[in-house]
Structure 1
Amino acid sequence: MPLDAYLTLFIFALTVLGLVVLQSRPVAVFGGTLIALIGCGLVTKAQFLTSIANPGLVTLILLVLCSLALEKTRLLRVIASKIIVSNYHSTWLRLFGVTTLFSSILNNTAVVATLLSPIRNNPHHFSSKLLLPLSYASILGGTLTLIGTSTNLIVNSMYIEASGRSLSFFSFTAIGSILVITCGIVMYFCSGMLPSIEQKKATSEGYFIDAKVKNDSELVGNSVEANGLRHLESLFLVEIVRKGGLISPVSPSEVIQPADRLIFCGEITKLLQLGQFSGLEIFAEKNGRLNSNLTEVVVRQESIIVGKTLKSTGFRALFDAAVVAIKRDGDQVSGKLGDVVIRSGDFLVLAVGSDYKSRTNITKNFLILSGVEPESRINGWRAWLSIGGFISTIILAAVGVLDLLEGLVLLLGGLLFTRSLTASELVRRFPVDIWLVVSSVILLSNALVNSGVVDTLGVFIGQYNDPSYVYTALILLYIATWLMTEFVTNNAAAALMFPIGYTIALGFGVDVLPFVMTVAFAASGSFISPYGYQTNLMVFNAGNYCLKDFVKVGLPVSVVYALVVLICVPIFFPF
């Protein structure tokens, strides 16, 4: 082999080694791979430009960006509030069905993130009995369609680059459906082996947010549980102030009454979740300040508001700002926000007016920390547009009426035009890691071809092209991809193993699709390690699991998953 071939293989080996050693930094590893390939002259400028503008990759990025609008609606949260009931088996089945369905068309990480809080805060069941099934269900749901998981779209991106063709929307559906049914049955019976871990209750850590229930609010007359107030993401209802009295802790069966003050604790960036409830007014909202720039400050020792309440200081008139939330390290804040006596060192989040920056008393009273950008929500016609537009685009693409990439471009334009999404949100949530991983590995595949490694491997395999070895090669490819998924990440495994699987198929002179689909399914088969798939890592921390919990349930699921894939792929995609 020429020198370029050895150099390419060396970079490939370093990439795999880097992913194993630096599991938490795949972006840095692939960034180094991209720089090495370009710096060593192993790829052309045209190949570099083609890799970063690959149609499959652009489709994946557009899909992620458009799905942000759905995350901002109440859709998933309303559904989440209906999933959990007193009967565990009914809850389990509802959770599994909803998660697999939504994960087939939405980013499964977003689906799991939305359902985490309702499960963790539910009053009926140990969250540890539901969180692991939640992650596994999202993985299985992702195998149902082309857009169900980034893994499928990454494989499709590379398939387009190699063959000029694209997989269809339903290429994965037949095998994915069998996986959902068989692995779902195994999960159902194995869930009894999950531990019963008591969930830590919400504490006073985080910002305290005061919200008033208006007389005409839809919350009035319904319980905390029925209103979905226990199903918020990173916000916890810790107190209710009612007619001068304090209700704490708050029972799920507590009925909301007019003029109640609901005291929440949690992340200030999740503040605008409260906007989804009609007739719930946040302390700063009545002055029209809530959608203004939010700024985090610390009260100085010499501040004139120290020792006084916000109500008595005339805070808005003094600073042209309204206090949205307060946090006090080492102590608990309680009661209505306006009645809290301010201390030096208190953290405040302010919704500031146009005159705020010109006030000369700001720096005398506060240390300014930073701006705060809350995660916004959309409702009304914008919410319906986002939901309807996304579902319509997916359906039209699935039936072949509209190209998916073109449809997503039109949808994203509509979301921006109606301000359902903003440019700053797109910049902040742009999936740089996925873009870098996919474009780097496409470049690596080009380098393997340019240097002659693919031809050499094809000639080597051609010496053993007995048809009886093809299925053995498929099994070995599955095992190698699955191991890389468990020890590295699913996206990296799919990206690195695709060129190997594609080359093996060419070497045997058979159809490449069985090997392509095997890589895609194997890369999504992460059930034993909490680190191989992002949703596993999310529930690993949230559910306080141990590694053995993943092994006990994940091992039988992995075995059944592997058997289904290795039996069904040759049937649905013959050699």
Structure 2
Amino acid sequence: MSIDAYLTLGIFVGTIVGLVTFQQRPAAVFGVTLMSLVALGLVSRAQLLSSMVNPGLVTLVLLVLCSFALEKTRLLRVIASKMIVSSYQSTWFRLFGITAACSALLNNTAVVATLLSPIRNNPHHFASKLLLPLSYAAILGGTLTLIGTSTNLIVNSLFIEAEGHGLSFFSFTAVGALLVVGCGIVLRLASRWLPEISVEDSGSKGYFIDAKVKLGSELIGRSVEANGLRHLESLFLVEVVREGRLISPVAPTEVIEINDKLIFSGDVAKVRQLDQFTGLESFAHENGLLDRNLTEVVVRPESVLVGNSLKSAGFRALFDAAVVAIRRDGEQISGKLGEVLIRSGDFLVLAVGEDYPSRRNISKNFIVLSGVEPEMRLNGWKAWLAIGGFLLGVGLAATGLLDMMQSMLLLLGILIFTGCITVNEIMRRFPIDIWLVVSTAILLSHALVNSDVVSVLSHWINASSDKNDVYLALIAVYVATWLMTELVTNNAAAALMFPIAYSIALGLGVDVMPFVMTVAFAASGSFMSPYGYQTNLMVFNAGQYKLTDFFKVGAAVSVTYGVIVLSAVPVFFPF
């Protein structure tokens, strides 16, 4: 082999070692790989540019951006409110079925993030008995369609680069359906081994936020549970103030009445979730100040506010700002927001007016920390546009009437034009890590071809193997990809194993599709480690699991998953 071949192989191996060593920083590892390939001249300028604008990669990025609008609607929260009932059996199957179905079309990380809070706060079951099945259901649901998981889209990007055309929307569906059913049955049986862990109530942590129930509100006359007030993301209903009387803790059966003050605690950036409930308003929202970014401040010891309440101090007149939330380290705050006596060192989040920056008393009273951008929520016709537009775009692409990239590009333009998504939001949340990983993986594939590593590997396999070894090679590809996804991440595993699997198929002289699909499914088969898949890591922390919990349940699911993939792929994608 040439010097370029040895250099390329060295970079390939070094990338794998880097991913294992720096598991939490895959983008940085791929960034070094990208610079190494360019610096050593192993790829051309045209290949560098084409890898960054690969149609599959552009489609993946557009899908992620369009999904931001969908996350801001009530869709998943409404679904979550209907999911948990008193029967564990019924709850489990609702949770598994709905999560798998949603993950087939939506970003599974967003699905899990939305459902975490209602599961953690549910009054009927241990959260630890449901959170791990939630993650596994999201993984399994993602295998149903081309857009179900970023792994499938990454494999599609690499396939387009190699073959000149992409996979169809339903290429994954037949095998994915078998995985959902087969692994779902095993997961239900294995759920008995999940621990019963009482998750600590998060109600006393974070900021203290209140909102008033106005006349005509949809909340009036319905219980806390029926209104979905226990299913908010990172906000917890801790108290209700009613006619001077404090109700705490708040039971799920508590019926909301007019003029109730609802006291929440949690992440102030999630305060715009309250917009989804008609007739529930905070002071800042009522005065139109929440349309602006928020400012976080600390009360100085010499502030005129110390010892006074916000109401008695005339806060709005003094600072042209409204207090959205209060936090006091080491102590839980109780009662109405406007009647809390302010102390030095209190953290306040302010919704500020136009005159706020010019007020000379700001620096005398506060230490300004930073800006806090509230997460906007979509309601009314904008919510219907986001949901309907996404489903229509996916439907047109699934039926072949419109290319997926075209439909998502048109949808993104409409969402920006109608204000459902802002340009600033796109810039802030642009999936740079995914873009860097995929474009570098495509570039690495080019380098392997340029340096003749692929042809040498194919020739070696062709000379030392025969048709009888094809299935053994498929098993080897699955195991190698599965090990890599457990050790590093699913996206990195798919990106690195694709060129190897493709070369093996060429060397054996068989159709590449069985090997391509095996890589896609194996890269999503992370069940035994919390670190191989983002949703696993999310529930690992939220459910307070141990590594042994993942191994006990995940081992059975993982074996079932592997058997189904290696049995079904050759049937639906013959050699």
Same fold judged by TM-score > 0.5?
yes
Q: Give SS of 2:427's match.
A: helix
Paired residue type of 1:247 = I
Counterpart amino acid of residue 301 in structure 2: Q
- Give SS of 1:154's match: helix
Q: What is the 5 A alignment of 1:106-185?
A: 106-185=106-185
Contact 2:461–2:508 (CA<8 Å) still a contact in 1?
A: yes
Using the alignment, how far apart are the partners of 1:465 and 1:330 within structure 2?
Answer: 68
Shift of 1:283: 2.5
Point out where structure 1 has 5 or more consecutive residues left out of the alignment.
Answer: none
2:210 aligned residue: 210
Structure 2 residue aligned with 1:305: 305
* Matched length: 575
Displacement of 1:288 after TM fit? Answer: 1.6
Task: Tell me the residue number matched to 1:510.
Answer: 510
Counterpart secondary structure, 1:334: coil
| Cα separation, 2, equivalents of 1:560 and 1:303 | 64
- Aligned residue number for residue 546 of structure 2: 546
State how far apart, in whole Å, the 2-side matches of 1:288 and 1:393 are: 34
Tell me the amino acid that sits aligned with residue 493 of structure 1: A
Match of 1:349 in 2: 349
Superposed counterparts of 1:9-88, under 5 Å: 9-88=9-88
Residue 83 of structure 1 aligns to a residue whose secondary structure is: coil
Q: Amino acid of the residue matched to residue 435 of structure 1?
A: W
Query: Structure 1: how far apart are the matches of 2:442 and 2:197?
Result: 44
One-letter amino acid of the structure 2 residue matched with residue 28 of structure 1: A
The aligned residue for residue 263 of structure 2 is 263
AA paired with 2:314? G
Q: Is the 8 A contact 2:104 2:145 kept in 1?
A: yes
**Aligned twin of 1:565:** 565
Deviates more, 1:458-467 or 1:378-387: 458-467
Write the mapping of 1:462-501 to structure 2, written as runs, cut at 5 A.
462-501=462-501
Q: Is the 8 A contact 2:293 2:374 kept in 1?
A: no
SS of equivalent residue, structure 1 residue 264: strand
User: 1:283, 1:337 within 8 Å by CA — same for their partners in 2?
Assistant: no
**1:328 Cα shift?**
0.8
Distance between the aligned counterparts of 1:472 and 1:225, measured in 2? Answer: 54
CA contact (8 A) 1:202 1:238 kept: no
Identity among equivalent pairs (%) = 70
Distance in 2, matches of 1:87 and 1:330, equals 37
Are the aligned partners of 1:295 and 1:351 in contact in 2 as well (CA < 8 Å)?
Answer: yes
Structure 2 residue identity aligned to 1:539: V
CA contact (8 A) 2:100 2:137 kept: yes
1:294 corresponds to which residue? 294
Q: For residue 323 of structure 1, what is the aligned residue in structure 2?
A: 323
Q: How far apart are 1:464 and its partner, in Å?
A: 2.3
Offset of residue 245 of structure 1: 1.1
Q: Distance in 1 between matches of 2:198 and 2:367?
A: 39
The offset of 1:183, in angstroms, is 0.5
SS at match of 2:342: coil
Greater mean alpha carbon deviation, residues 290-299 or residues 66-75: 290-299
Return the offset for 1:459. Answer: 1.0
1:164, distance to aligned residue in structure 2 (A): 0.4
Counterpart contact for 1:117–1:234, Cα < 8 Å: yes
* Residues in 2 aligned to 1:293 and 1:275: alpha-carbon distance in whole angstroms: 16
Equivalent pair of 2:203/2:237 in contact (CA under 8 Å): no
**C-alpha displacement of 1:203:** 3.8
Distance apart, 1:287 and its partner CA: 1.5
Report deviation, 1:507: 0.4
User: Residue 345 of structure 1: SS of its match in structure 2?
Assistant: coil
Partner of 2:387: 387
- Deviation of residue 215 (structure 1)? 2.3
Cα deviation for residue 314 of structure 1 reads 1.1
Q: After TM superposition, give the deviation of residue 284 of structure 1 in Å.
A: 1.6
- Residue deviations 1:462-510 (CA, integer Å, cap 9, x gap): 1123100011000000000000001111000000000000000000111
Hey, what does 1:230 align to over in structure 2? 230
Moved over 4 A (4+): none
Q: Displacement, 1:289?
A: 1.2
SS in 2 for 1:517: helix
In 1, the alpha carbon distance for the partners of 2:437 and 2:399 equals 30
CA distance in 1, matches of 2:114, 2:285: 25
Equivalent residue of 1:531, what SS? coil
1:103 is matched with 103
Question: In 1, Cα distance between the equivalents of 2:303 and 2:528?
Answer: 55
State the SS of the aligned residue for 2:289. Answer: coil
| CA shift for structure 1 position 202 | 2.3
CA apart distance, 1:291: 1.3
Cα offset for 1:216? 1.4
Deviation at 1:223, TM superposition (A): 0.9
Q: What letter corresponds to residue 200 of structure 1 in structure 2?
A: E
Tell me how far apart the structure 2 counterparts of residues 189 and 205 of structure 1 sit (CA, whole Å): 36
Say if 2:71 and 2:110, in contact at 8 Å, map to a contact too: yes
CA distance in 2, matches of 1:286, 1:175: 52
